[in-house]
């Protein structure tokens, strides 16, 4: 009886040791948790768009300015647009000037969507942008709003959630579209 118990102990102990050595290399690791704090909208005097600090295929890193805001130059329907990244904005929002530059006819706009912004309540005209492009990241058919009194265009969730991920940490915004 003692031999049987000793043999069982050695077999099960050996299996447990083997599992503790092999399993950590076989099981997938959990994905890191990403934080996405909302950026406040505040008028900034002549903000300069961030230039990517690091670039890897499918990802770009943009530094925040002294107030913690990230400005990015993008192409909307092929036209250059200067955006403030606003993770709290549901939709991409364009100024009237940027909308016209992107080929949107101001006479066809219907300002039917009421929105609440950091600057107060306003009405926006819903549009669908053919494409919004940052570097090599084209995102097609992006829902957006055009606002009459918006001081700067906002890069909101209708673009950001179409990326693989975005992450704001240590004063840097990382956009990843692979």
Residue 95: inside a domain, yes or no? yes
Phi–psi pair at 99, nearest 5 degrees: -65, -45
CATH number for 64? 2.40.70.10
Query: Could you tell me which residue, 178 or 167, shows the higher pLDDT?
Result: 167
Domain residues for the domain of 157 are 54-176
Which residue do the tokens 């076989």 mark? 26
Q: Which two tokens stand for residue 39?
A: 């950026």
pLDDT digits 0-9 by tens, 24-83: 544 444 444 343 334 333 344 445 555 444 445 678 999 999 999 999 999 999 999 999
Q: What is the CB neighbour count within 10 angstroms for residue 160? A: 19
Are 83 and 60 contacting, i.e. CB atoms less than 8 angstroms apart? no
The pLDDT score that the predictor gives to residue 41 is: 39
Beta bridge partners of 81: 74
Per-residue pLDDT, 49: 56
pLDDT at 178: 73
Q: What is the pLDDT of residues 140-173, one digit of tens each?
A: 999 999 998 899 999 999 999 999 999 999 999 9
Cα separation, 145 vs 110, whole angstroms = 10
Q: Is 0.75 surpassed by the pTM of this model?
A: no
Q: Look at residue 113 and tell me if it is in a domain.
A: yes
């Amino acid at each position: 009886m003692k031999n049987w118990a000793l043999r069982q102990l050695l077999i099960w102990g050996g299996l447990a040791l083997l599992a503790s050595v092999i399993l950590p290399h076989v099981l997938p690791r959990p994905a890191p948790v990403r934080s996405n704090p909302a950026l406040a909208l505040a008028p900034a005097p002549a903000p300069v768009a961030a230039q990517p600090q690091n670039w890897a295929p499918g990802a770009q890193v943009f530094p925040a300015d002294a107030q913690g805001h990230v400005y990015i130059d993008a192409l909307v329907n092929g036209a250059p647009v200067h955006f403030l990244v606003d993770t709290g904005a549901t939709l991409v929002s364009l100024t009237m000037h940027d909308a016209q530059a992107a080929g949107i006819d101001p006479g066809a706009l219907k300002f039917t969507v009421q929105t609440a912004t950091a600057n107060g309540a306003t009405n926006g005209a819903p549009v669908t942008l053919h494409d919004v492009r940052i570097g090599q990241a084209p995102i097609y058919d992006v829902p957006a709003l055009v606002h009459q009194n918006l001081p700067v265009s906002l890069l909101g969730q209708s673009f950001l959630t179409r990326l693989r991920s975005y992450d704001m940490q240590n004063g840097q915004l990382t956009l990843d579209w692979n």
